[in-house]
Amino acid sequence: MGGFWSGLKRFVLWDFPRAGWQYDVMVGVILLFIFLTPRDWFRDQPKPSSVVMLPAVHGHGQAFWIAPDLLSGVAPAQRGATVEGLLKAKWHRTYRVLHVEPVSDSEQEITCWLAYVANP
Q: Which pLDDT value is given to residue 120?
A: 62
CA distance 110 to 83: 16
**Residue 111: is it exposed, middle or buried by C-beta count within 10 angstroms (0-12/13-18/19+)?**
exposed
Q: Could you list the mean pLDDT of each consecutive 10-residue stretch along the chain, which spans 120 residues?
A: 78 80 87 88 75 79 90 92 93 91 93 87
Rounded CA separation 98/103 (Å)? 16
Q: Are 98 and 120 in contact (CB under 8 A)?
A: no
**pLDDT for 104:** 93
Residue 59: per-residue pLDDT: 65
CA distance 35 to 33: 6
Domain boundaries, the chain: 2-41, 51-117
Residue 70 Rama label (left phi>0; alpha psi -120 to 50; beta): alpha
Q: What is the pLDDT of residue 22?
A: 81
What was the pLDDT predicted at 2?
Answer: 72
The rounded distance, in Å, linking the Cα atoms of 40 and 115 is 33
